[in-house]
Structure 1
Amino acid sequence: MSRRPRLAALATSISAALLVVAGQPALADRATPLPAAFSRAAAAQDVPRDLLVALAYAETHLDGHAGKPSASGGYGVMHLVSNPSNHTLEKAAELTGLPVEKLRADDASNVLGGAAVLRSYADELGLDENARKDAGRWYRAVAKYAAAASPELARLYADAVYEGLGLGVSARGVTVKPQEVTADRGEYAATRDLSAQAEILSSDYPDAAWVAASSSNYTASSRPSSYAIDRVVIHVTQGSYAGTISWFQNPSAQVSAHYVVKSSSGAITQMVREKDIAWHAGNWTYNTRSIGIEHEGYVSDASWFTDAMYRSSAALTKAICDKYGIPKDRSHIIGHNEVPGATHTDPGSYWNWTTYMNYVTGGGTPSWSTTVDNTTAGQFTASSNWGTSSYSSQRYGADYRFANPVAASDPAWYQATIPSAGTYKVEVWYPADAGYNSSAPYIVAASGGNQTVYVDQRSGGGSWRSLGTFSLNAGTFNVVGVSRWTSGTGYVIADAVRISR
Structure 2
Amino acid sequence: MKLRLLLGAAALPLSLLLTQQPAGAASAGPMADAFAAASSAYEVPRDLLVSLAYSETHLDGHRGEPSAGGGYGVMHLVTGKTLDRAAALTGRPVPALKSDDAANIAGGAAVLRSYADALKLDAAARKDAGAWYQAVARYSGAASPEVARLYADTVYDLLAGGVRATTPGGESVTAPARAVTPDLGPYAKAGDLDQPRALAASTDYPSAAWAPAHSGNYAVSSRPSSDAIDRIVIHVTQGSYAGTISWFQNPASGVSSHYVVRSSDGAITQMVREKDRAFHAGTYNRRSVGIEHEGFVDNATWFTDAMYRSSAALTRNIADRYGIPKDRTHIVGHSEVPDATHTDPGRYWNWTTYMQYVTGDSGGATNPHTPESVCGSGYKVIDSAALGSAGTVYLLYNSGNGYNCVTTIKKTSVGTATATSAYLEVEGKARVTDSGNFAYYAGPVRASAAGKCVRWGGKAGTSTYDSPLEHCG
Q: What 5-or-longer segments of structure 1 have no aligned partner?
A: 19-27, 367-371, 373-378, 383-387, 414-425, 438-454, 468-480, 497-501
Q: What 5-or-longer segments of structure 2 have no aligned partner?
A: 21-25, 167-171, 366-370, 372-379, 413-418, 426-431, 460-473
Change beyond 3 A, Cα 1:411–1:177: farther
Change beyond 3 A, Cα 1:494–1:76: farther
Amino acid in the other structure paired with 1:336 = H
The corresponding residue for 1:376 is none
The corresponding residue for 2:189 is 190
Residue 267 (structure 1) shift: 0.9
- Larger relative contact order (C-alpha < 8 A, sep ≥ 6)? 1
- Indicate the percent of aligned positions where both proteins have the same amino acid: 58
**Alpha-carbon displacement from aligned partner over 1:282-335 (angstroms, at most 9, x marks no partner):** x2x311111110001111111111111111111111111111111100011000
Matches within 5 A, 1:93-492: 93-172=87-166, 173-196=172-195, 197-281=197-281, 283=282, 285-363=283-361, 381=382, 408-410=401-403, 436=424, 457-459=434-436, 484=447
Following the alignment from structure 2 to structure 1, what is the Cα–Cα distance between the partners of residues 346 and 254? Answer: 23
Amino acid in the other structure paired with 1:299 = V
Amino acid in the other structure paired with 2:311 = S
**2:40 pairs with 1:38:** no
**Alpha-carbon displacement from aligned partner over 1:79-112 (angstroms, at most 9, x marks no partner):** 00014xxx10010011011100000000011000
Amino acid in the other structure paired with 2:61 = G
Residue 202 (structure 1) shift: 3.4
Aligned length: 414
Residue 8 (structure 1) shift: 3.7
Change beyond 3 A, Cα 1:99–1:221: same
Following the alignment from structure 2 to structure 1, what is the Cα–Cα distance between the partners of residues 298 and 284? Answer: 25
Secondary structure, in 3 states, of the residue corresponding to 1:95?
A: helix
Tell me, yes or no, if the aligned pair for 2:162 and 2:176 is still in contact at 8 Å: yes
Change beyond 3 A, Cα 1:219–1:410: closer
Amino acid in the other structure paired with 2:60 = D
Following the alignment from structure 1 to structure 2, what is the Cα–Cα distance between the partners of residues 324 and 89? Answer: 44
The corresponding residue for 1:473 is none
Amino acid in the other structure paired with 1:288 = R
Following the alignment from structure 1 to structure 2, what is the Cα–Cα distance between the partners of residues 190 and 63? Answer: 33
Following the alignment from structure 2 to structure 1, what is the Cα–Cα distance between the partners of residues 270 and 18? Answer: 48
Amino acid in the other structure paired with 1:307 = D
Tell me, yes or no, if the aligned pair for 1:235 and 1:292 is still in contact at 8 Å: yes
Change beyond 3 A, Cα 1:232–1:316: same
Following the alignment from structure 1 to structure 2, what is the Cα–Cα distance between the partners of residues 226 and 205? Answer: 21
Change beyond 3 A, Cα 1:16–1:306: closer
The corresponding residue for 2:45 is 48
Following the alignment from structure 1 to structure 2, what is the Cα–Cα distance between the partners of residues 456 and 171? Answer: 36
Amino acid in the other structure paired with 2:50 = V
Residue 227 (structure 1) shift: 1.0
Residue 427 (structure 1) shift: 6.6
Following the alignment from structure 1 to structure 2, what is the Cα–Cα distance between the partners of residues 15 and 181? Answer: 27
Tell me, yes or no, if the aligned pair for 2:398 and 2:404 is still in contact at 8 Å: no
The corresponding residue for 1:441 is none
Amino acid in the other structure paired with 1:106 = D
Change beyond 3 A, Cα 1:267–1:456: farther
The corresponding residue for 1:440 is none
Amino acid in the other structure paired with 1:180 = A
Following the alignment from structure 2 to structure 1, what is the Cα–Cα distance between the partners of residues 30 and 410? Answer: 41
**2:87 pairs with 1:88:** no
Tell me, yes or no, if the aligned pair for 1:457 and 1:493 is still in contact at 8 Å: no
Residue 241 (structure 1) shift: 0.6
**Alpha-carbon displacement from aligned partner over 1:221-247 (angstroms, at most 9, x marks no partner):** 111111111110000000111110011
Amino acid in the other structure paired with 1:458 = S
Following the alignment from structure 2 to structure 1, what is the Cα–Cα distance between the partners of residues 271 and 74? Answer: 27
Secondary structure, in 3 states, of the residue corresponding to 1:239?
A: coil
Secondary structure, in 3 states, of the residue corresponding to 2:235?
A: strand
TM-score normalized by the length of structure 2:
0.78
Tell me, yes or no, if the aligned pair for 2:212 and 2:249 is still in contact at 8 Å: yes
Secondary structure, in 3 states, of the residue corresponding to 2:232?
A: strand
Amino acid in the other structure paired with 1:234 = I
Computed over aligned residues only, the root mean square deviation of the Cα atoms, in angstroms, reads 3.8
Amino acid in the other structure paired with 1:334 = V
Tell me, yes or no, if the aligned pair for 2:382 and 2:397 is still in contact at 8 Å: no
Following the alignment from structure 2 to structure 1, what is the Cα–Cα distance between the partners of residues 361 and 402? Answer: 34
The corresponding residue for 2:63 is 66
Secondary structure, in 3 states, of the residue corresponding to 2:286?
A: helix
Following the alignment from structure 1 to structure 2, what is the Cα–Cα distance between the partners of residues 456 and 70? Answer: 39
Tell me, yes or no, if the aligned pair for 1:54 and 1:162 is still in contact at 8 Å: yes
Residue 177 (structure 1) shift: 1.3
Secondary structure, in 3 states, of the residue corresponding to 1:10?
A: coil
Tell me, yes or no, if the aligned pair for 1:321 and 1:327 is still in contact at 8 Å: yes
